[in-house]
Homo-oligomer: A and B are copies of this chain.
Amino acid sequence: MARVVVEVMPKAEILDPQGQAVAKALPRLGFNGVTDVRQGKRFELEVDGSVDDAQLEQIAEALLANTVIEDWTVRRIEA
């Protein structure tokens, strides 16, 4: 079995209301010095040997990311 991490983040030019909400809440909680926050998703997949990199990319494109507004990366963390 292999473990794969897929990270999905909003594209840089896309408004990130969740990230902005966190950024605005931080000073109210007494945390200063954080100038920007972006929030995305992180998936950990357990895959067997039949799943190759091309399929992982298709999975990211088809199901895990909305490619109109999000970028994604795929990396294997354990063979």
Contact = CB atoms under 8 A, between A and B. Distances in A.
B32 A50 contact: yes
B45 A42 contact: no
Interface of A: 1, 7-9, 19, 22, 25-26, 29, 31-51, 55, 58-59, 62-64
A34 B59 contact: yes
A50 B30 CA distance: 13
Contacts of A25: 63
B45 A36 contact: yes
A7 B45 CA distance: 15
Contacts of A26: 59, 63
Contacts of A55: 31, 33
